[in-house]
Amino acid sequence: MTSPRPGGLGNAHRLPEEYEQLRRTVEEFAHDLVAPKIGEFYENHEFPYEIVREMGRMGLFGLPFPEEYGGMGGDYFALCLVLEELARVDSSVAITLEAGVSLGAMPIFRFGTEEQKREWLPRMCAGEVLGAFGLTEPECGSDAGGTRTTARLDEATDEWVINGSKCFITNSGTDITALVTVTAVTGRKPDGRPEISAIIVPSGTPGFTVAAPYSKVGWNASDTRELSFADVRVPAANLVGEAGRGYAQFLRILDEGRIAIAALATGLAQGCVDQSVSYANTRKAFGKPIGANQAIQFKIADMEMRAHTSRLTWRDAASRLVAGEPFKKEAALAKLYSSEIAVTNAREATQVHGGYGFMNEYPVARFWRDSKILEIGEGTSEVQRMLIARELGVPSN
């Protein structure tokens, strides 16, 4: 695919034809296949296997990976375009794709051995199996350096022995989940700080327990679980990247993932606009459509302004990523702004809908429930502000 940012930001709002064709294809898929079915999955807290299989057939899980590993030969910008279009209709489906690619497959692609790539990526790119990334722990959220899960190398058997737990892990307990890449303390550095490594744990490994799904406020058609590891043994060859580099590796993965979450948040914000425009044109009060009232017009105009600006932030960050330019600050800016305006747009769209906005049969009720987690997952808003300040050179503790 041709980079959307060949010589700077330029006309980032004008997509090259291949990107625009992909966007239109996924827009049609989201409205024709996802929209009619997702409400039932959501209310029943069911994972949408049928939709995920179709996304796999479309090649969406393989978008940013090379063809030699079963991918589509695209890039991260293409993935983000897809996430925005999916989230305009439903965030559970969008986060399933985002986590499957950026958290499940990307660590193996970025840091795995050639053997690991060839073993896992083809099936992950096809959407036949899902991977998950086990980072967050019950007593370790934003402070990922405080990881307590341990992995000891048993030299007699050449195996890692893993003990600990993880929480809030997306895609970790579906019928098609094949692995979880787990961060664990594998030693101590000379200064006493933990040496953190990343290790692949295949599903079904003895001692690896996946809890029942959480009862969540939102994202109810996505899979989120707590994991526990009791003397779990996996081959030493399951180490992803270098021993002791797991912390640095996951920081890179999170930097990229923030752009993806920003695109998802933009989609939710735009979906709020879509639904509000439609409702304002059809809902009548006092003998005229409610959209004829300036108060409603101003709300929708402000919602569109926020969604449009949000789109520019993630496209800028994604363009820098695919161009090989520094993007850490831009990713944090995009994630911070997009997540916060998604919450605002969801609140305002609910207000436009009045009492109907509080009814789950209307998509904006789902958007409202789904929006808040965007300010928390993949780095809270507070963490993003810390990162931005640090990148600007502001002194820190």
pLDDT digits (tens, 9 = 90+) for 104-148: 999 999 999 999 999 999 999 999 999 999 999 987 766 666 889
Domains of the chain: 17-130 (1.10.540.10), 132-243 (2.40.110.10), 248-391 (1.20.140.10)
Q: What is the pLDDT of residues 219-269, one digit of tens each?
A: 999 999 999 999 999 999 999 999 999 888 988 999 999 999 999 999 999
Check whether 396 has a pLDDT greater than 90.
no
Average pLDDT over residues 175-183: 97
pTM across the whole model? 0.94
List the beta bridge partners of residue 33: none
Check whether 397 has a pLDDT greater than 80.
no
List the beta bridge partners of residue 132: 180
| CA-closest candidate to residue 93, choices 125, 134, 61, 120 | 61
- What is the structure's pLDDT at 143? 67
Rounded Cα–Cα distance for residues 393 and 397 (Å): 12
Tokens representing residue 172 in the block: 């970790």
Q: What is the pLDDT of residues 59-110, one digit of tens each?
A: 999 999 999 999 999 999 999 999 999 999 999 999 999 999 999 999 999 9
> Is residue 198 within 8 Å of 242, Cβ to Cβ?
no
Q: Which one is catalytic: 256, 348, 375, 378?
A: 378
- What is the structure's pLDDT at 144? 64
Amino acid (one-letter) located at 272? C
The confidence band for 19, taking pLDDT boundaries of 50, 70 and 90, is: very high
Task: Write out the E strands in the chain.
Answer: 130-134, 150-154, 159-170, 177-188, 194-202, 208-210, 224-235, 239-240, 284-285, 288-289
> Is residue 47 within 8 Å of 41, Cβ to Cβ?
yes
Q: What percent of the chain has pLDDT over 90?
A: 89
Is residue 361 annotated as part of the catalytic site, yes or no?
no
Check whether 12 has a pLDDT greater than 60.
no
Average model confidence (pLDDT) for the chain? Answer: 94
Q: What is the pLDDT of residues 343-380, one digit of tens each?
A: 999 999 999 999 999 999 899 999 999 999 999 999 99
The confidence band for 1, taking pLDDT boundaries of 50, 70 and 90, is: low
Rounded Cα–Cα distance for residues 283 and 289 (Å): 5
- What is the structure's pLDDT at 7? 34
